[in-house]
Chains A and B, each alone.
Chain A
Amino acid sequence: MRNPLVQSCLLAALLVGAGGCATRNHFVEQAVLPDDGRRGDAVARARQTLAEMFPARYGATQRAVITVAGKQFACDALLSVSPADGGHLALVSSLGTVTDLRVRADGATELLKITPLFRADWSRNYVARDVRELFLPPAGLERAGWRADGRLVLQFPPDAAGAVAEYVFSPDGSRWEQLSLLRRGKTFYRAIIRRCSKWPALAAAIPDEFEVTAEAYRLDLRVTSLTTEGPP
């Protein structure tokens, strides 16, 4: 029989190989109407919505289906978030631990476990990005404008690689609905919040189901349990 490492390498080869040869996902660009400086209340509320979106300290389990090159892989994940340590995620598949990493509060990524299932750069570039963008939203969003349907758009200034994060909220700023990452005006990552739910011990509903489309993969992710740890 194949031993565990051989099986792991098979998955690694498939995922990594698929990443290199798969047809890349395409995005329909969504125009942003210029900011007219009005509706300051909605902008303020959107900033507050994002700032108060998640508890400061919590633990969650997640179920994910990752689609790469048309093939699907189901995984479980453990996520632990705290102000001191940032986000700590372990991704576990039927074939073993895929990756274990920490995205620190300053945004830096620390790989805690590198496995044969996943190349280190995949963990660093893609998994860490999902943790950062979905569960560690930044402060300091700036006004960007509006969608034609009235939804509010705020953005985070370009990072070192020139990527701009564009956050879309409901017109009144009370719901975070979508996130796009763009480079030179082209979208390469889009997360749609499919559901928000109220969990025990939380005062408000939080996003707990995401549909992510990125360069060469799709991620359907949902939170399956959530607990708060210690004082918020």
Chain B
Amino acid sequence: MKRTFKIICAALLLAAPIVRGQTNAPSLAQITATMSQAHTIFTHFVQERHLAMFNDPLKSEGILCFQEPGRLRWETLTPYQSILVSDGSGVAQFEWADGHWKKLDLGLGDALEHIVSQIAGVMDGRFARDPRGYTATVTNGVDEVVVTLIPQNETIRKVMASIELHLAADLKATRRIVLRETDGDYTEIIFSEQTVNFEPPPKTFDRAAPAKLADVQAAAQAKR
């Protein structure tokens, strides 16, 4: 998990006066109402962080599992294995090394928890309900709806140019998030194979010993 989420969070919490960029584009209220119907989400992700001074991006893949109101599991599967999990009251991180999971004695747990809560806000459409610091434009793309958030806060605008949320045309899934920074760096997260409203197995979000991914995947597949 990367800077991505801090920026998403900053944007989505501070939120925004919303502008409908196209008359036929859905309203933010419609987007929120549709997205909030997903009480649990299981999705594959590919994240690429593009740094202007490097040819190749930092790329990772994994799964994101969410249960409202604030349980979240961000599990990186490649090129390394890592789990960031929140049970809604705290956050834990695990790294796979030497054949087993090692729980980190995490620094800045509060900040990470805050970030995780904001990711949850993205997943359930909460971002639209507390408009304060960003302007948002909703436009229809090719087979998608794009919400573009522009920071109003001058300090934030120094590092972040925009956040793009690319939603499925029926608004029921977040397909892609692009975070564009002012120095040319950007992060793209592509979601696929989404399952909503499945029943996560016990301990999916356990901070002491989270359930095995295979069990979570099986629960998601059973819903498909």
Residue ranges of A at the interface with B (Cβ–Cβ < 8 Å): 1-5, 7, 10-11, 14, 59, 61, 63, 65, 67-68, 70-74, 76, 78, 80, 88, 90, 92-97, 100, 112-113, 220, 222, 224-225, 227, 229
Contacts and interface: CB of A to CB of B under 8 A. Distances in A.
A65 B95 contact: yes
B54 A1 contact: no
Interface of B: 1-3, 5-7, 9-10, 13-14, 49, 51, 53-56, 58-60, 79-80, 82, 84, 93, 95, 97, 104-108, 111-112, 114-115, 118, 153, 155-156, 159-160, 183, 185
Given A2-B114, A3-B10, A78-B51, A95 B108 contact: yes
B105 A94 contact: no
A61 B49 contact: no
Max count, chain B CB within 10 A of own CB: residue among A67, A76, A92: A76
B9 A74 contact: no
B107 A14 contact: yes
9 closest Cβ pairs, A-B complex: A71-B107, A224-B79, A96-B3, A72-B104, A1-B13, A63-B80, A7-B111, A224-B80, A225-B79
Nearest to A79: B54
A135 to B, nearest CB: 15
B108 A74 contact: no
Contacts of B54: 59, 78, 80, 88, 90
Contacts of B93: 74
Nearest to B80: A63
7 contacts: A1-B13, A1-B114, A7-B111, A76-B60, A78-B51, A92-B51, A95-B3
A77 to B, nearest CB: 8
Contact of A4 (B7, B56, B58, B185): B7
A222 B80 contact: yes
A70 B183 CA distance: 33
B83 to A, nearest CB: 11
B1 A73 contact: no
A21 to B, nearest CB: 14
B56 A11 contact: no
B7 A1 contact: no
Contact of B55 (A2, A5, A59): A59
Given A5-B155, A70-B105, A72-B105, A97 B80 contact: no
A97 B3 CA distance: 7
A81 to B, nearest CB: 12
A225 to B, nearest CB: 5
Contact of A7 (B6, B97, B155): B6
Contact of A61 (B5, B79, B112): B79
Given A97-B185, A100-B51, A61 B111 contact: no
B5 to A, nearest CB: 7
Contacts of B104: 65, 72, 74
A103 to B, nearest CB: 14
Contacts of A14: 107-108
A111 B69 CA distance: 42
Nearest to A97: B3
Contacts of A11: 107-108, 111
Nearest to A69: B107
Given A5-B155, A67-B105, A96-B159, 8 more contacts: A63-B95, A78-B51, A92-B58, A93-B2, A94-B2, A94-B112, A100-B51, A222-B97
Contacts of A7: 6, 108, 111, 114-115
A94 B107 contact: no
Contacts of B6: 4, 7, 94-96
B58 A95 contact: no
B111 A76 contact: no
Given A90-B51, A90-B54, A94-B115, A4 B107 contact: no
Contacts of B185: 97
A11 B183 CA distance: 21
A100 B160 contact: no
A113 B184 CA distance: 13
